[in-house]
Amino acid sequence: MIFKKIFQKKFLDYFLVFLAVALLTSNTLINACLLYSANTFDSLNLIVWEYAAKIGLLPYKDLFYPYGFLSYFRFANSMNSFFVFLLSPILIIIFLFIFKKIYSNTFYAYISLVALFLFVYFITGFETFDRYGVLTGLVGVFCCYLYTYKIKIPKIIIFIFGITIGLLTLLIIDQSIYSMGLFIALLFTHFLLQYKRKNTKESVKRFGTSLITLLIAFGIGFLPFFIFLWKTNSLLRFIQFFSYLSDISLFAKTPFIHSLFSTDNIFLLLIGVMAIGYISYTCINNRDRLTVNHYYLIGLMYVFLLLEQKSVIRSIASEITFIGVLLFISLFYEFFLFLKKHKINTVSLYLYYLNFVIAFIFIIGFTSYSTNPFYYWTNSSDCNQENMQKQLSQDQTYSLIRKYISSGNIFSYPGTPLFYMLFHQQPPYYLTIYEGSPRYAQKKMIQYIQDQHIMWVIYDDVDTSIQDGVPDTIRAADLDQFILNNFSLQKNIGRFLILKRNLTKKDFFKNPKLFRFPLLKQELVDIDLESIPRSEGYYKSSLLEKRDTFFDNVPINVLNKNLREKNITSDNKVLVITIKKTDQKILKLTIRTKDGLKTDVQYLPCLTNNPCIIDLSRLPVFYQSRQLQSITDENNIITGVSLYNFTNPSLFW
Amino acid sequence: MKIKKAIAKSLPFVIFLTTIALILYFILPYPFLKHYLFVFLLILYCYPLVIYLFYIKRWPWLLIEFFIFIFLLGIFFIFFRKIRDALPPSIIGKSAVVGYAQYFGYPFYLDAVVFFIILLHPVLVFLLLKFFEKLERRKV
């Protein structure tokens, strides 16, 4: 019966397209082994997440994982691999369904599908398409149904959509949550577009009912995931995971303006402005003449805006260029209809369309993800191990370290998580200090070091690519402090420094081996605080209270005289500086201790009428308590210094 | 209207030129010629947009919108550094997160606000124009 239906003319094209795409992407099924071609932060994390799934660790509960179960367990069982393989052909036939619904010209629908497939094949890559394509496809189908049923959308349709995205939380959580947000936005937009003043009450009632139906259905669809979380004691961690997501945006933020000039971003900006301009013009002026293509454009516009806000935090432009291409296909269709009205030769129009497609794929120069990661043929039964070996073979240092550390658990700092695989060890909840940037995450990593009785720290002193130019000592000050206070330098192997746990209390700066590593020493004593003192002064100077003051706005020589005469330790001390107006771009302080150490601190000038605040315990030299001897103002610019004893240091950075 | 139709009619010629330019782009071995061809192709690709702008009946609106877009972009790029430096730095909150924005004092929401103003300004412009049009109709 099913086969009979499939081979009916109505479904035959879907079936054939499904088969064709499945064949073209079959290498993902025949051998689901992914080779991550570059030794990058992302690649290493992906390999270690695969390893974590293999050893039975659960996402959210045992380790931080931002995506869904579908990709987490993709190599852990063949059923999941099969589902992942099916995703691309299913998405492509969803797009065929959308295109056939929106483009009355069937030929246009088919060549648009081919254009999309080629773009994904050569530029976006199926890995990325499987992720963001889900959202785009779901929104497209939802728009088609909204348009088809106009005012009276059957509750069952809304219910099915709600259930579907609810169930998706189990598989691809981020896309499911985005879909939910966008469906609500689309329902509201639909309500506004169909709104008639004389039917206000009825329209509001319909919108309310649809919204409630969607939310209830989503809740029902979410139930399996909820039960899973409940049964595995992961529910609390899952809720915490959501609060953590807001912190991700804080530490992931990089300037968008610099990346705005990439080909991908320029294309997205132009096509985005054009699409938004066109659709807002049409909705405002020709509300009664909206077509299904206009609805689809509205949906795409929402997807575009949602993903662009993500891109503004940290550019993902190169991953979402295919959404720009989808916007182009729909905009071009409007143009296509306009030209057909003027009886322009259809062949030449398709030729023009083809020119665009060729330009997108081969000329414009979008960033291509089609080869990273790529699938490859292997006879190995353990793809994950083979992947690790391929990564390790690029650098002999790993095997040398494996030989040197014969026993005891290791901790990788700031984060080369491949070591946990190499030492057959359970990785920490946050794989690197990048994800572990918030203070509570650092505390969790410290807890891991204590619980796992870590004997060795493998310190990568060179790789700063994961830290956006923020030094380790600044980003992960708590963790850095714990490591330097509890571990001692042993030797270096390649770019890695090997630190061993202290059996007795030791001073890291008094370790004679430190002198063999002048660069490391310099990194620990020459501290560039950049904007932190000015930011702390701007936002937190009101937290300082007079009763905690040792010295209140005294000249620096008065402070130094007192420091020399009295024994004032660095414990819980906060230094507050006021400066003269200056044109200098960087200021510098030198702080000396009575045990012969000194540290240079660079910082940006304080903001007008605000002091600069430096929490001394955050400087590596003061990770251990030391007696202060003097503070030297290298720029001769400080007008007054205050020294506060602060018992609640967590108020400051 | 005749001129607009004539522009539309000229499209097959543009398409022909584009196809030739595209073929040449792939055939030509000289990189410097490819750069010129690339620019030429971009102009040809933009041609339909220009026709479309001129065809729509209320094109002065679109033209206004287009100038506002250019104006906004110009303002943004000329004064970007000044705006950035004038805004307060990102706060280091309770979770003590120090990423790029907090370390280098980059105003956290600057990019988002500016970028979304540029992206979403057409909605506001068209709404305002519609509003003024309605006001004018009422006066008449």
Which of A274, A338, A532 lies at the smallest CB-CB distance from B98? A532
Total count of residues recorded for chain B: 140
C-alpha distance from residue B69 to each of A623, B48, B73, B84, B120 (Å): 52, 19, 6, 21, 10
Cross-chain residue pair B116–A309, CB shorter than 8 Å: yes
Q: Which residue has the tokens 């609106």?
A: B61
Cross-chain residue pair B104–A469, CB shorter than 8 Å: yes
CA dihedral of A625, A629, A635, A641, whole degrees rounded to 10: 80
Cross-chain residue pair B96–A439, CB shorter than 8 Å: yes
* Beta-ladder partners of A575: A614, A643
**pLDDT number for residue B56:** 59
CA-CA-CA-CA torsion sign (A395, A400, A405, A407): positive
Stated as kind and residue range, the H or E segment containing B119 is helix B110-139
Mean pLDDT of chain A: 87
Q: From A339, which residue of chain B is nearest by alpha-carbon distance?
A: B8
Mean pLDDT over A124-136 rounds to 90
Mean pLDDT over A312-331 rounds to 92
Q: DSSP character for B122?
A: H
* pLDDT tens-digit readout, B60-69: 666 777 788 8
Mean pLDDT over A335-364 rounds to 83
Report the relative pairing of strands A598-603 and A526-528 from DSSP bridges: parallel
* Beta-ladder partners of A34: A375
**3-class secondary-structure state, position A373:** coil
Mean pLDDT over B121-128 rounds to 85
Q: Is B118 on the interface with A (CB under 8 A)?
A: yes
More confident residue, A605 or B131: A605
Mutate one of A193, A247, A251, A606 to test the B interface: name it (highest B CB count within 10 A).
A251
What is the least distance, in Å, from the CA of A540 to any CA of chain B?
A: 9
Instruction: List the one residue out of A11, A23, A161 whose CA is nearest residue A100.
Output: A11
* Beta-ladder partners of A412: A458
Q: Is B70 on the interface with A (CB under 8 A)?
A: no
Chain A residues with CB-CB distance to B122 below 8 A: 273, 276-277, 280-281
Which of A335, A344, A531 lies at the smallest CB-CB distance from B104? A531
The 3-state secondary structure of A392-434, one letter per residue: HHCCCHHHHHHHHCCCCEEEEECCCCHHHHHCCCCCCCCCCCC
Instruction: List the one residue out of A532, A545, A507, A536 whose CA is nearest residue A646.
Output: A545
pLDDT bracket for residue B53 (50, 70, 90): low
**pLDDT number for residue A2:** 59
pLDDT bracket for residue A335 (50, 70, 90): confident
* pLDDT tens-digit readout, A97-107: 999 999 988 89
Mutate one of B98, B104, B131 to test the A interface: name it (highest A CB count within 10 A).
B98
Instruction: List the one residue out of A230, A209, A198, A234 whose CA is nearest residue A152.
Output: A209
Total count of residues recorded for chain A: 653
Q: Is B91 on the interface with A (CB under 8 A)?
A: yes
Cross-chain residue pair B88–A358, CB shorter than 8 Å: no
Q: Which residue has the tokens 């139906």?
A: A213
CB contact at 8 A, A465 and A433:
no
The 3-state secondary structure of A50-73, one letter per residue: HHHHHCCCCECCCECCCCCHHHHC
**3-class secondary-structure state, position A584:** coil
ipTM over 0.95: no
What is the least distance, in Å, from the CA of B81 to any CA of chain A?
A: 11
Residue B18: CB atoms within 10 A of its CB come to: 22
pLDDT bracket for residue A108 (50, 70, 90): very high
Q: List the structure tokens of A572.
A: 């819980």
Report the share of chain A in percent with pLDDT over 70: 93
Kindly tell me the burial class for residue A61, based on how many C-beta atoms sit within 10 Å of its own C-beta (0-12, 13-18, 19 or more).
middle
Report the share of chain A in percent with pLDDT over 90: 50
Compute the distance between CA of residue A138 and CA of residue A217 in angstroms, rounded to an integer: 16
Chain B residues with CB-CB distance to A437 below 8 A: 97-99
Q: What's the alpha-carbon Rg for chain A, to the nearest Å?
A: 30
Mutate one of A247, A250, A479 to test the B interface: name it (highest B CB count within 10 A).
A250
Cross-chain residue pair B99–A285, CB shorter than 8 Å: no
Kindly tell me the burial class for residue A453, based on how many C-beta atoms sit within 10 Å of its own C-beta (0-12, 13-18, 19 or more).
exposed
Q: From B4, which residue of chain A is nearest by alpha-carbon distance?
A: A342
Report the relative pairing of strands A587-593 and A496-501 from DSSP bridges: unpaired
What is the least distance, in Å, from the CA of B38 to any CA of chain A?
A: 8
**pLDDT number for residue B8:** 66
* Beta-ladder partners of A496: A460, A493
**3-class secondary-structure state, position A56:** coil
Which of A338, A344, A358 lies at the smallest CB-CB distance from B12? A344
Residue A104: CB atoms within 10 A of its CB come to: 13
Compute the distance between CA of residue A325 and CA of residue A366 in angstroms, rounded to an integer: 11
What is the least distance, in Å, from the CA of B60 to any CA of chain A?
A: 13
Instruction: Tell me the helix, strand and coil percentages in chain B, rounded to 5.
Output: 80, 0, 20
Compute the distance between CA of residue A527 and CA of residue A359 in angstroms, rounded to an integer: 49
**pLDDT number for residue A74:** 78
Mean pLDDT over A227-240 rounds to 91
Cross-chain residue pair B103–A363, CB shorter than 8 Å: no
Report the share of chain B in percent with pLDDT over 70: 81
User: Within the 73-132 window of chain A, which residues sit less than 8 Å (CB to CB) from chain B?
Assistant: none
Stated as kind and residue range, the H or E segment containing A632 is strand A628-633
Residue A401 above 90 pLDDT?
yes
Compute the distance between CA of residue B77 and CA of residue B90 in angstroms, rounded to an integer: 21
Residue A320 above 70 pLDDT?
yes
Mean pLDDT over A533-560 rounds to 85
Which backbone phi and psi does A622 adopt, to 5 degrees? -100, 20
Instruction: Tell me the helix, strand and coil percentages in chain A, rounded to 5.
Output: 60, 10, 25
Q: Is B115 on the interface with A (CB under 8 A)?
A: yes
* pLDDT tens-digit readout, A281-297: 888 888 888 899 999 99
| Inter-chain contacts counted by CB atoms under 8 A, chains A and B | 181
**3-class secondary-structure state, position A487:** strand
Mean pLDDT over A412-427 rounds to 91
Cross-chain residue pair B65–A277, CB shorter than 8 Å: yes
Angle at A114 between CA A109 and CA A115, to 5 degrees: 95
Q: Which residue has the tokens 């966008």?
A: A182
Q: List the structure tokens of A186.
A: 């689309």
Stated as kind and residue range, the H or E segment containing A501 is strand A496-501
Q: Is B49 on the interface with A (CB under 8 A)?
A: yes
What is the least distance, in Å, from the CA of B139 to any CA of chain A?
A: 20
**pLDDT number for residue A547:** 65
Which of B8, B103, B112 lies at the smallest CB-CB distance from A532? B103
Compute the distance between CA of residue A454 and CA of residue A223 in angstroms, rounded to an integer: 39
Q: Is B123 on the interface with A (CB under 8 A)?
A: yes
Mean pLDDT over B8-32 rounds to 78
Residue A438 above 90 pLDDT?
yes
Chain A residues with CB-CB distance to B62 below 8 A: 277, 281
Mean pLDDT over A13-28 rounds to 86
| Of the ranges A53-62, A340-349, A449-458, the best mean pLDDT one | A449-458
Residue A352 above 80 pLDDT?
yes
